[in-house]
Amino acid sequence: MSAMDDVFDHADGAPEEERTFAALPPVRGGTFVRTWWGRAWLKALEDTALDGEQLKKGRKHARDGSVGAVTVRPGRITAVVRDRDGTGHRSDVLLQELSAEGWHRFLDMAVDSAGHIAALLDREMPPDLVEDAAAAGVELLPGIGDLEPECTCEAWDHCPHTAALCYQVARLLDQDPFVLLLMRGRGERRLLDELQVRSAARAASEHPEPVAAAEAAGVPAEEAFAARGILPPLPAPPPLPGAPGEPPSLETESGPTPGLDPAALEFLAADAAARAHRMLAEALAPGHDRQPVEPALTVTQDAVRLAATPTEPWIAARLASGTGRRRAELDLATRAWSLGGAPALKVLEEDVSPAPDVLARALTQLAEAWDDTDRPPLRQTGPARWTVVGADVQLRLGEDGRWWPYTKSRGRWTPSGPADPDPAAALVGVTAEPGQP
């Protein structure tokens, strides 16, 4: 028997529904876990915790052997975790037990497959066991938000002590998946006894009684419709946070999925948080319900939007490569985006064809924008483009009837200012002499 096996002996006098494991030795190099279910446990911790720095400290506590004996019982794991100065903190992590109905479904599922029981007895948890349990409506492994921390250090989220406890329990789970089942509410001996009883009953009856399906809860549609006038008003909308939320750190013990770039994902998460904050601010603003809905961006437009925000050079390079642009082309696109978003980008990259009525109004505007003596010589060079004769200056008409000024730089037409409903106003900023308004 190995030293690791020794820690799985039951403490003298401990009840079947509670097990205490001796403190594990420090970890010298390598990772904490070797099994897929141990990694799934750590992923639930890393997805739940809001502060990646606390996880790093907890991982170091666990590596250093600062976690004392671990007690496991239904719904809770407990240990004393010591700081570097020797201060001990009682730390608990709560995991919801399966309901009686959940255990009923799990046991029925396990009895149907002798391989599942054999794997558990071999201290294995094959993926198909977990998948079959999920198909029966039973989630064995924890997910995001399932590991609830409690610690005498009074942190409101996972602290280094509860994180260290979770990392240590991952090592226990590596050796024996029955530890997880005990947390979910059944000790090994009780679970095996119940499986044996069900197996015997299944063998004794060739035609078992089908389990009646629970009657779906609900309210008849006519009742719900009749009550519409007496329903309470909707609650007040939530207050707007002062700033977007901070995305979680993706530097984890379990490592990224092959092909996944954590730094790029952190960048996208931060951008999503900023957009969500902006959208909430707009939704809470008066008159929001009367504002037109913005069309969804294409992948190419969204890449330009991302590049237009302050980013690291490697991000801009990735976005240029992903959209098939050279870096100079992406810089030009981001300049257009900064001046007017998706409409400005379309005017840059497409020779748009406004609707006939929009084009007719635009031609009238061009005719009336200047006196005869002030009108610059304009030559139409496209369906919606007019170039100033003898100058590297151009007006482009957008689909909404607004005018965009362009100048030519190094052989490229470059957006030079925001759009304006008046072609003269749009043009004057790029044609005025220095010092002139």
The two three-digit tokens of residue 216, written as one number: 């779906």
> Which three-class secondary structure state does DSSP give residue 51?
coil
pLDDT category at 345 given cuts 50, 70, 90 is very high
Please give the pLDDT value at position 78. Answer: 95
> What are the pLDDT digits (tens) for 149-183?
999 998 889 999 999 999 999 999 999 999 999 99
pLDDT band at 99 (very low <50, low <70, confident <90, very high): very high
pTM of the predicted model as reported, rounded to 2 decimal places: 0.47
pLDDT score recorded for residue 3: 34
Check whether 62 has a pLDDT greater than 80. yes
Is 67 in contact with 164 (CB distance < 8 Å)? Answer: yes
Nearest to 335 by CA among 397, 252, 418: 418
- Give the chain's mean pLDDT: 82
Taking the C-alpha atoms of residue 239 and residue 253, their distance in angstroms, rounded to an integer, is 36
pLDDT recorded at residue 226: 65
Give the count of alpha carbons within 13 A of 174, CB side only: 17
CATH number at 351-431: 3.30.920
Percentage of the chain with pLDDT > 70?
86
Q: Quick one: how many helices (H) and strands (E) in the chain?
A: 16, 10
Angle between helices 127-135 and 100-111 (to 10 degrees): 130
Which pLDDT value is given to residue 1? 34
* pLDDT value at 336 more than 60: yes
Instruction: Report, as an integer, the average pLDDT of 59-66.
Output: 91
Spans of all domains in the chain? 3-204, 297-350, 351-431
269-316 pLDDT, tens digit per residue, is 888 888 888 888 888 888 777 777 778 888 888 888 888 887 788 888
Q: Per-residue confidence at 69, pLDDT binned at 50, 70, 90?
A: very high
- In angstroms, the CA 321 to CA 237 distance is 42
Amino acid letter at 337?
W
Edge-to-edge strands of the sheet including 378-382? 378-382, 385-388, 393-397, 403-409, 412-415
% of the chain with per-residue pLDDT over 90: 26
Report the C-alpha gap between 22 and 8 in whole angstroms.
8
Of 296 and 8, more confident: 296
Q: How many CA atoms lie within 13 A of 341 on its CB side?
A: 5
Q: What is the pLDDT of residue 214?
A: 47
Task: Average the pLDDT over each of 62-71, 248-257, 276-285, 378-387 and give the range with the smallest value.
Answer: 248-257
Q: Which of 116, 164, 161, 112 is nearest to 140 (CA)?
A: 116
> Is the CB of residue 423 less than 8 Å from the CB of residue 403?
yes
Query: Is pLDDT of 383 > 50?
Result: yes
Answer for the pair 118, 129: CB distance below 8 angstroms, yes or no.
no
Q: Which of 387 and 234 is assigned the larger pLDDT?
A: 387
Instruction: Pick 253 or 301 by higher pLDDT.
Output: 301
What local confidence, expressed as pLDDT, does residue 116 receive?
A: 80
Please give the sequence-ordered ranges of beta strands (E in DSSP) within 155-214, or none if there are none: none
Sole residue written with tokens 């024996």: 176
353 by DSSP, 3-state: which? coil
